Amino acid sequence: MTMTDPIADLLTRIRNAVSINHKRASIPHSRVKEQICRVLKEEGFVNDYRITEEPHKTLHVFLKYGPNGEKIINEIKRVSKPGRRLYSPADAVPKVLDGIGIAIVSTSKGIMSDRRCREQNLGGEVMATVW
């Protein structure tokens, strides 16, 4: 069975794992999902991610919690959906909670956070928000 929105599946698996305090979420691998995880790691929302080959390529996302077990990811939400794409020009890339969170944006230079988009003056498809 084919999946309609694999990015929403990634975000849902991370959201569900965080809600029950799991240390890790396992997701079927794709390059786009790997790039989203790279942005989450760079911005400090996850500890790490690894790719395993056996028995099939899987992306393991190691979730991050505070010193007392509090959640680092409070909300992770899909913005641009297959039925309604949301694009933003460089001067209108959204700030999430006035800079506390991030927007994950797919640009012509790859997938990056809203902060890097503003630094490089790039717009693109706003894929998700995280805070």
Q: How many CA atoms lie within 13 A of 31 on its CB side?
A: 3
The answer to whether position 1 is within a domain reads no
pLDDT digits (tens, 9 = 90+) for 59-106: 999 999 999 999 999 999 999 999 999 999 999 999 999 999 999 999
pLDDT confidence of residue 3: 81
| Beta partners for residue 12, in sequence order | none
CATH number at residue 126: 3.30.1490.10
The answer to whether position 106 is within a domain reads yes
The answer to whether position 18 is within a domain reads yes
The answer to whether position 59 is within a domain reads yes
Task: Give the Cα separation of 24 and 97 in Å (integer).
Answer: 26
pLDDT at 2 over 90: no
Task: Give the Cα separation of 100 and 97 in Å (integer).
Answer: 5
Reported pTM = 0.95
Domain of 27 in residue numbering reads as 6-130
**Residue 50: band (very low, low, confident or very high) from pLDDT cuts 50, 70, 90:** very high
The count of structural domains within the chain is 1
Query: What mean pLDDT, rounded, does the chain reach?
Result: 97
Q: Which of 11, 51, 55 lies closest to 29, judged by CA? A: 51
The answer to whether position 102 is within a domain reads yes
